[in-house]
Structure 1
Amino acid sequence: MDALDRLALRLRALPPSCGPVRLIAVDGHAGSGKSTFTTGLAAALGGPDGGGVAVLHLDDLASHAELFDWTDRMFAQVITPLSAGETARYAPYDWVGRRFTAPRALPPAPVVLVEGVGAGRRALRPHLAALFWMERSADASWQRGRRRDGDGLADFWNRWTVAEVRHFAADPTRPFADALVRECPEGYEVLPGLSATAGPNQIVTLGD
């Protein structure tokens, strides 16, 4: 059993945190590998088609005008309905067309993974069953992201990095993470996080 399979077992055993849902956040710098890790974790949990897990990408809630000011939208479209055991309906943002599109359903699955920069922000932490931080430095993450996106998005990256630094300076995630995720040549290493308030139901012993 690899790290993601062990992690999936522990996540399923956590108590619900948002209505009937175990809301799990995956945060980290842009380019740190959040989406890839979340995809692997969703597969270990059974995959979206299995009904046991759903995935929300915060790129769908952010926009050019509101890179980080999406908290109210998150609560109105996602947190409030999930807390009531209802299907959430959020309007994904089209980054090419620069507009929000038709609503997409997000069911109150036993586990809902939320990945994106700022997923572990202060306002959301009371609704989380666990919070993961991708353990890659800002510079290394941004260099990776710039290589991935190419020169055509250089201006956007310049704007983004300024906004990201400002966000984490005001509302850091890493000190509150239950676990730190380090990408390895093969798979992942998941280590206890820095959260001083982690209790017995939290993910704090994933390295064993």
Structure 2
Amino acid sequence: MPSSADEVDAALAGVVERIEAAVSDLAPEIIPIVLIDGRSGAGKSSVARRLRERWQGPVTVIGLDELYPGWDGLSAGATLAREFILTPLSEGRAAAWRRWDWAADAPGAEVVTPAGVPLILEGAGALTPRTARLAHVRVWLEAPEDSRRDRALTRDGDTYRPHWSRWAAQEEHHLRTHHPQSLATIVVDVP
């Protein structure tokens, strides 16, 4: 049975509070990098949006949807994020990366993400052993398949519907290969 909107809202509010607490516990000189992972429809984008709205000061939010090179690109998008965003920012350098142009099905405009600004990176595949070493707060959102599918297809409708199964297979591969839940510093069940 799908979860109620109030239950989902409470879970998302709770995870935002936990992330805020974890960030506030970091040493003042640390520029936080927050990774939010979970399967499609788990609430990653919603958590990132809520967190940005409450963040005190500047923060950059990047969704892996901006990097995945098409519907078969979950793994490649995560690699691009690590190489072109997480590594330079964790080293105190600006990050230059290309946004994926979904309409053209090709790399699009270059984006430069400045160093010295906290980062929230969200998306399926974001949390791997290699990215975990580069982030200060690592979040895994778990949710039942029926609830996730309902939320994702309500959000993206017919654009996503034909790709649900192939994307889910890539998520399964990510879970078997990287065990992201075990790498998370915060794990939350979203109804």
- Shorter-normalised TM range: 0.7 to 0.9
Residue 54 of structure 1 and its aligned partner are, at CA, apart by 1.1
Residue matched to 2:65:
59
Percentage of matched positions with identical amino acids = 26
Q: Any gaps of 5 or more consecutive residues in structure 2?
A: 1-12
1:63-78 correspondence to structure 2 within 5 Å = 63-64=69-70, 65-78=72-85
Aligned length: 177
What is the aligned counterpart of 1:38 among 22, 28, 48?
Answer: 48
1:20 and 1:90 map into 2 onto residues whose CA distance is 23
Determine helix, strand or coil for the equivalent of 1:141: helix
RMSD: 2.5
Are positions 1:8 and 2:14 aligned together? no
Q: 5+ residue gaps in structure 1?
A: 185-208
Q: CA deviation at 1:166?
A: 1.7
Which structure 2 residues correspond to residues 38-187 of structure 1 after superposition, within 5 A?
A: 38-46=48-56, 50-51=57-58, 53-64=59-70, 65-183=72-190
2:76 alignment partner, SS class: coil
AA paired with 2:93? E
Structure with the bigger percentage of helix: 2
Per-residue CA distance 1:120-145 (angstroms, 9 max, x = gap)? 11210111101111131234212321
TM-score (norm 1): 0.74
Deviations 1:67-103 (A, max 9, x none): 2123442233213321331221211112222111111
Divergent runs of 4+, >4 A: none
Contact 2:92 2:116 in 1 (8 A): no
Distance in structure 2 (CA, Å) of the matches to 1:134 and 1:44:
19
| Larger RCO (CA within 8 A; separation ≥ 6) | 2
1:26 to 20, 30, 36: 36
Query: 2:3: which partner in 1?
Result: none
TM-score, scaled to structure 2:
0.80
Question: How many Å apart are 1:20 and its aligned residue?
Answer: 5.3
Structure 1: which amino acid aligns with 2:83?
A
